[in-house]
Amino acid sequence: MKVSSAQIATGLRDIFPECADMALSNETILGDLPEWDSMAAVNLQSFLHQAFEIEVPLELLSDETSIQEICDFLVSPVDNESAW
Amino acid sequence: MVETMQKRSDPIQTPGVAIDLNAAWMKNHDALAANCQELNRAMHQATQKVYDHMQASLAETPPSAGEALLQWIQKLAWSSRQYHQVLSDWLISHVDQAPDLTPATRRQARFWVRQINEMIAPSNFFWTNPQAVQRFVRSDGRSLLNGWRNWMTDLQRGDGLLRLTDQESFSVGQNVATTPGQVVYRNALVEVIQYAPQTERVHPVPVVLIQPWINKYYIFDLTAQNSLVRYLVCKGFSVFVTSWKNPDADMRHITFEDYMCNGALATIQVARTICRSPKVHAAGYCIGGTLLAALMGWLAHDEHQPVADVTLFATMLDFSQPGDLGCFLTPDTLSAIEQAVAAKGVLKDNLMALTFRMLNPSELIWRYVVNNYFYGEPPPRSEILFWNSDSTRLPEAMCNFYLKSFYIENRMATPNALKVTQRPIDLKQVRQPHYLVGAAKDHICPWQATFQTCHLVRGPVRYILADEGHITGFVNPPSPWSKKKYWAGAASRRRDHNKWLQRQTPSKGSWWPDWVAWLTPRSGKKVPPPSMGCKTYPALAPAPGTYVLEP
């Protein structure tokens, strides 16, 4: 599956209307978004599930996660249980 | 008389805080004038910025009338954000710089100013939210029509709350709370679930998880991907969990002591009997942790100790700095809550849910106003939000005791100030090792407050600070993709959380493996797993049991 950072940026602008003025690139990290916090991560997780039908683990969606890293996960998702 | 009427009509005292704030400034006219001039100057600067922005974009020619409207809306939103930022900053400084306010009043004023600032954010209004207008134009108005329907559905439900999550996507026992197990004990207050072993041999010392009864137990067992219960059984632990009954008015007389003796202590007894283990690892989350700590103080009077060690997740024992929740809990508000609870026999679930949502309004209120009503979308699919929306009620006696003894009088932090079944609770007599977990962005139990437990108990303490919130700091499974981090280190008898943190280095990933590494050497050599239930406590029903399904 091909995933572009532009697709993710569209979702971020939907969830975070306050970041409409921000330039979002592959290197943008989630902690840069206004109002980013752990519950915002839940919303982003939900958007990614709706848009790409892939369950992105909340553990990936932290302050330091870049848009590129989300794209990378969506291309090759890994099951958590395999890490246990 | 007037004061009494004011307290009755305004139990949370917002006008009172505003009056106090105003009175504080009126004592210092010069400072007030300078403060207002600062607002004037910042507004002027913002207007200049808006003017320049508008001038620069006048030359652009939009391709169509629809695009022209959207571009105009985007400019309007941009301008509104400039003014909103100025006003928000000024309101905060107006509170922070107010002379001679008591710390409590300043904290309350800051809380309500934050509520106002987040409420008046431009994105919360249709014409200053470009995404909302864009969806309206592109869907020929259907987005707003759907939003209207969502609003009507919320109103018809009558609980005063908006939906946080798509309730249809989850079902307890189907795709959340699915780890195999059996209810092995049931009384009028609690069901005890024993989880089936997943390994050929298990540690002889079981883990007992005491659940916060403000929501349902399955925060410990969400999905297969993030279930703490599943993780523990995969690591060779026998796990027992409390699943509390959701009380109704008939249970109004149930006390904190009942929760402790008939709930937590009963569960420990069940686990010890089935596993034939003299001791258990006991762990509690939030109010479940507070209950466990009280039990430990209560058990400290006895010679035999059924608990080997204690783990407290996001748990306050010293309530002197309870964060924003303290804004709702003053002697006056407690009196109003007591009256409301007396009328119903329980503290209603929607009142508690609204309170917790107000602690994080941008994420738990306004984001859903925009999504559900302006975008006309269904709320997101999230197991955490599903659990979060599955609130419970609190019985009158327990609720009043808990709020008064802990939030108002802070009795647990003072040796022997709290009495449970006539036994004074002195945490200094609790000598078991403690594993404490706080969350850096916790709005409900600030980690600074949870850290105070380090010096309240006598036993050795390992403290973990997870870099997340109250729920996401706890639901924290290991994952190769994890970007989470935590700080961990010895913290026995420490008081200064900042000094402790300065000496720690962050670790990447989940703290769950650290907890298992802490538990394992205390758990004995592995043995064949116990049966599911036993003669004294036979299996009664498959997990998730019946209490968790009760509305």
Contact check, Cβ <8 Å, B123/A17: yes
Contact at CB, A15 and B441, closer than 8 angstroms: no
At B104 the pLDDT is: 85
End-to-end Cα spacing for chain B: 41
B447 chain-A contacts, CB cut-off 8 A: none
* Interchain pair B478, A84: CB under 8 A: yes
B380–A17 C-beta distance less than 8 A: no
- How many residues in total does chain A contain? 84
| Active-site residue, B261 included | no
What pLDDT does B479 receive? 87
The chain A residue lying nearest B169, using CA atoms, is: A46
In 10 A of CB B511, how many CB atoms?
24
Task: Tell me the C-alpha distance between B228 and B235, whole Å.
Answer: 11
Q: Residue A59: which of B360, B375, B479 has the nearest Cβ?
A: B479
What pLDDT, on the 0 to 100 scale, is given for residue A84? 67
Q: Are B240 and B275 in contact (CB under 8 A)?
A: no
Q: Contact B476/A59, CB-based, under 8 Å?
A: yes
β-partners of residue B510 are: none
Give the strand pairing for B541-542 and B181-186. antiparallel
Report the C-alpha dihedral over residues B529, B531, B536, B542, rounded to 10 degrees.
120
User: Which residue in A41, A69, A80 is closest to B477 by CB distance?
Assistant: A80
Please report the pLDDT score of residue A40 as a whole number. Answer: 83
Distance in angstroms (rounded) separating the CA atoms of residues B441 and B13: 27
For residue A34, give the chain B residue with the closest CA. Answer: B362
Q: Which residues of B touch A40 (CB under 8 A)?
A: 363, 367
Q: Do B380 and A62 touch (CB under 8 A)?
A: no
Contact assessment for residue B287 and residue B319, using Cβ atoms and an 8 Å cutoff: no
Burial of B169 (0-12, 13-18, 19+ CB in 10 A): middle
Question: Torsions phi, psi of A7, nearest 5?
Answer: -65, -40
What Rg, from alpha-carbon coordinates, does chain A have? 12
pLDDT at B307: 98
- Which has the closest alpha carbon to B487: B479, B478, B477, B498? B498
pLDDT of A80 higher than 80: no
Quote the distance between the C-alpha of residue B462 and its chain's center: 22
Choose among A20, A41, A83: nearest Cβ to B77. A20
Q: Does A59 touch chain B (CB under 8 A)?
A: yes
Query: Does any CB of chain B come closer than 8 Å to the CB of residue A50?
Result: yes
More confidently predicted of A72 and B445: B445
Closest CA to B425 of B310, B317, B298, B305: B298
Report the pLDDT value the prediction gives residue B10, as an integer from 0 to 100.
61
Backbone angles phi, psi at B534, to 5 degrees: -155, -175
**In Å, how far from its chain's centre is CA A14?**
12
Closest Cβ opposite residue A46 in set B225, B381, B479: B381
Give the whole-angstrom CA distance, residue B536 versus residue B539: 10
Q: In this structure, what DSSP letter does residue B62 have?
A: -
Distances (CA, A) of A67 to A2, A14, A26, A64, A74: 14, 15, 5, 10, 11
Q: Which residues of A touch B477 (CB under 8 A)?
A: 57, 59, 80, 83-84
pLDDT at A22: 80
Q: Is there a contact between A42 and B380 if contact means CB atoms under 8 Å apart?
A: yes
Q: Decide if A42 and B382 are in contact by the 8 Å CB cutoff.
A: yes
Best probe of the A interface among B75, B199, B481, by most A CBs < 10 A, is B481
Q: Low-confidence residues of chain B, pLDDT below 50?
A: 1-2
Predicted confidence (pLDDT) per residue in B151-196, tens digit: 999 999 988 889 988 888 899 999 999 999 999 999 999 999 999 9
What is the Cα–Cα distance from B257 to B419, expressed in whole angstroms?
10
Q: Which helix (H) or strand (E) holds B461?
A: strand B461-466
Please name the amino acid found at residue B346. V
Q: Are strands B307-313 and B434-439 parallel, antiparallel or unpaired?
A: parallel
Contact B214, B394 (CB under 8 A): yes
